[in-house]
């Protein structure tokens, strides 16, 4: 039965976390542009913690098989964001010490872009599922 699943609560959790990620990522971009490496390091650590929280929270939901497929993309996005945060933290530490490490900067951007692509797919798939549910009612 559909009522046995936490689909709506899970989706609400995803949307709440996405809103936090958007704010953190926007602030990280601003910090990097301003060469505020202390702030960038703190924000990167915040992103890492946010992804850990989202991953831990995700384990608590009993979701339907259709949503489990979407959840796989969500988890992939979270893991990419987490790696991006770790690379951004390394970049900020190096940059504060006067060593602009273009490799860790590029890796951070690559992982964050990858995470964003997964999160966009999750959003599109959720919208499609919501439209299907609306048609049934």
Which pLDDT tens digits describe the chain residue by residue (137 residues)? 446 899 999 999 999 999 999 999 999 999 999 999 999 999 999 999 999 999 999 999 999 998 999 999 999 999 999 999 999 999 999 999 999 888 999 999 999 999 999 999 999 999 998 888 777 75
Do 24 and 50 contact (CB within 8 A), yes or no? yes
| Domain ranges, ordered by start, for the chain | 2-136
| DSSP, res 98 | T
The whole-number pLDDT of residue 2 equals 45
The whole-number pLDDT of residue 131 equals 82
d(CA 59, CA 62): 8
Q: Environment class of residue 61 by beta-carbon count within 10 Å: exposed (0-12), middle (13-18) or buried (19+)?
A: middle
Q: Domain 2-136: state its class.
A: mainly alpha
Length of the chain equals: 137
Residue 61 region, left (φ>0) first, then alpha (ψ -120 to 50), else beta? beta
């Amino acid at each position: 039965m559909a009522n046995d699943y936490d689909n709506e609560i899970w989706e609400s959790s995803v949307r709440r976390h996405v809103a936090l990620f958007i704010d953190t990522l926007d602030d990280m971009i601003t910090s990097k542009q301003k060469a505020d490496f202390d702030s960038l390091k703190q924000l990167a650590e915040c992103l890492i913690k946010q992804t850990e929280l989202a991953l831990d929270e995700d384990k608590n939901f009993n979701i339907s098989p259709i949503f489990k497929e979407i959840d796989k993309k969500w988890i992939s996005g979270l893991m990419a964001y987490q790696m991006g945060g770790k690379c951004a933290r390394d970049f900020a530490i190096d940059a504060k010490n006067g060593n602009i490490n273009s490799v860790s900067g590029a890796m951070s951007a690559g992982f964050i872009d990858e995470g964003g692509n997964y999160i966009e797919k999750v959003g599109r798939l959720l919208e499609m599922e919501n439209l299907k549910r609306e048609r049934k009612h």
